A and B are shown apart, each in its own frame.
Chain A
Amino acid sequence: MAVVFDHPKSLLDVSTHFCPGCGHGIVHRLVCEVIDEMGIEGDTIGVVPVGCSVMSYNYFGCDVIEAPHGRAPAVATGVKRVNPDKFVFSYQGDGDLAAIGTAETVHVGTRGENIVVIFINNTTYGMTGGQMAPTTLPGQVTQTTPFGRNVETNGYPIRVCEMMATLSGTALAQRVAIDSVPHIREAKKAIRKGFENQKEKRGLSIIEVLSTCPTNWGLSPEESMEFVKDQMIPYYPLGVYKDVTAEEGKKA
């Protein structure tokens, strides 16, 4: 009988610390499936953030560096510049990437660093217990916005892909989600495209994944998927915000 679904080889066979219904497990799996399909585990170096995925060095089978908070893109730059033939990706949450690490994120785009950034947007600081993130939706209740995010005092959520798409060095800026099987398939395709871009030295690929945090949202895993669909996607429309390969196609 043919095996059609198996544990990815580059995802270590250990239990994760992620909560039930958390999207990290799905995205970890997608990244590792892509690494397996491309046969690049031995040539890949992952850079993980501070946040819920801080301990992903226990899950990814490739070599992994745990970066200071928000600095994963800078760490990945250092790795890639001295190892231009290796595959380098950073895996970051919203607080890490779009608050404390905004400068590092923007500048890997401006420099067109030939790396892949996997950006998990779940609208909250998960590990510290659910505080307001730069991506927390207007009106959303968190530990530090107990009456809902008031945009007049807390500012507006940041749309990362739209911002990154404006940068000349960005090769791919795409927003995907994990709330349904078709969306998960789309997410995997985007991640694959990111790693292919790196192989072809096209510049920075950022894949924003709208993900879940049932624990801090106070929702069941199922309700969390509904939250992604009903609340997040309308504010953060899915789609390709920049794709240099499509632009090349058009020119041709």
Chain B
Amino acid sequence: MKGNEALAEAAIRAGCKCFFGYPITPQTELSAYMAKRMEKSGGVFLQAESEIAAINMVLGAASTGVRAMTSSSSPGVSLKAEGISYMAGSDLPAVIINVQRGGPGLGSIQPAQSDYYQATHAMGHGDFHILVYAPCSVQEMVDVVMLAFDKADQYRIPVMILADGLLGQMMEPVTFPEPRTELPDKSDWAACGHGGKREHHVINSLYLDAPLLEAKVQERFKRYAVIEETETDAELYCCGDAEIVVTAYGASARVAKSAVTAARRKGIQAGLFRPKTLWPFPKKELCEATKHAKQILDVEMSMGQMVDDVRLATECRLPVAFFGRTGGVIPTPEEVLAEIEKLAGGAE
């Protein structure tokens, strides 16, 4: 199944009741699949007039307590930033998918990973975080959709799945989980009509009283601290004795894995650290993966964005080299292997 379609099917099985989107390559199959399937499954599909409208429709639907989702690609996600900030400020759960393409501007329609900074550090104005998952296969995209909806509800935050054009477009066999039948009860805060049975509920992000807003933000950051403590996830491949640890996520991690395997065949003690959560960044896991490392090689489909988090997480204890291709160019395993060999040669 195609990655984009798998994301859509998984969302429906996760109990997503509505999808609001706007056409943009390379995520269009997701919308098209939703258009076919959503109504049949008793949900709502609506093609909005803009990315801005789409995210605000998600905001409205999520306010009433239902599982809501939108998806887009890089330029479109920029337009959603306003709505994501408002949702964070209103403590609203939702799932947003970014099937990244090359940028800046209209960029290209080829796969890229140049929205890492945006997703993990600047997904809108104000003091807030969103949970960001970075799957690297079609199966993992399916699994992470379920998780994303659950975590969004658990912490009342927007959650992003940061995919890319390669993952969205490629086809792999997948197994789907059984559809969710029981969903969390949100009746203590949802604005879905009080029926004369309770006080009115207000969904709002405005606090003109500065100390009150500060308290709201601080309360949210306590939740973020729990997320940082408990929700990080990463894959460690051949890291046990690795002297060179390659760090990469998503599609570039697939390439890096091939390169690491090839390096091992050549007798180089290389390993791969692949974060599955980008915010929170799996610092502890990276420290574990680099226990015996002498060097790190960060590989991305960008000019180097996650590399900053790698340096921060390791507190600059290790030299961190970088190799990236950008603008929609996908690095090859040979290129990455050459970089690993360069480092191995230099270390000797």
A residues near B, CB below 8 A?
A: 12, 41-45, 47, 54-55, 57-58, 60-68, 71, 74-83, 86, 103-104, 106-107, 110
Residue B18, interface by CB 8 Å: yes
Q: 8 closest A-B pairs (Cβ-Cβ)?
A: A78-B60, A78-B57, A74-B56, A63-B191, A75-B60, A78-B61, A71-B56, A107-B49
Chain A: minimal CB distance from B181 (Å): 18
Determine the distance from Cα of A147 to Cα of B149 in the docked complex, in whole angstroms: 54
Residue B44 is within 8 A (CB to CB) of chain A in the complex: yes
Q: Would B59 and A78 count as touching, CB distance under 8 A?
A: yes
A44 to B200, CA, bound (A): 10
Interface size bracket, B side: 35 or more
Between A and B, 11 residue pairs with Cβ closer than 8 Å are A62-B193, A63-B191, A64-B202, A65-B60, A77-B53, A78-B63, A79-B63, A103-B52, A104-B56, A107-B48, A107-B53
Bound-state CA distance A103–B66 (Å) is 25
- The one of B46, B63, B204 in contact with A81, judged by C-beta atoms closer than 8 angstroms, is B46
Main secondary structure of the interface of A (DSSP, over half): helix
Q: B: which residues have CB within 8 A of A? A: 17-18, 20, 44, 46, 48-50, 52-54, 56-64, 66, 68, 82-83, 86, 90, 191-197, 200-206
Q: Which residue of A lies closest to B190 (CB)?
A: A63
Bound form: Cα–Cα A35–B125 in Å: 36
A63 touches B68 (CB 8 A): no
Once the chains bind, are B82 and A68 in contact (CB under 8 Å)?
Answer: yes
Contacts of B82 in A (CB 8 A): 68
Report A-chain residues with C-beta under 8 Å of the C-beta of B46. 77, 81
Contacts A74-B53, A78-B60: A62 and B83 contacting too (C-beta < 8 A)?
no
List, in ascending order, chain B residues with CB within 8 A of A68's CB. 56, 59, 82-83, 86
- Chain A residues with Cβ under 8 A from B68's Cβ? 78, 82
Contact B203–A66 (Cβ < 8 Å): yes
Whether A79 and B206, one on each chain, are in contact in the complex, defined by CB atoms closer than 8 angstroms, is no
Question: Given known contacts A60-B200, A78-B20, A82-B18, is B50 in contact with A103 (CB within 8 Å)?
Answer: yes
In the bound assembly, the distance between CA atoms of A68 and B63 in angstroms comes to: 13
Bound CA span A150–B63, Å: 42
B196 touching A78 by the CB < 8 A rule?
no
Contact assessment for A104 and B197 in the assembled complex, using a CB-CB cutoff below 8 Å: no
Kindly state the separation between the CA atoms of A145 and B62 in the bound complex, as whole angstroms: 40
Docked CA distance A237–B194 (Å): 38
User: Whole-angstrom distance between the alpha carbons of A77 and B20 in the complex?
Assistant: 10
CB distance from B107 to the nearest CB of A (A): 23
Contact B86 A78 (CB under 8 A): no
* CA distance in complex: A75, B58 (Å): 7
Complex CA gap A71/B51 in Å reads 11
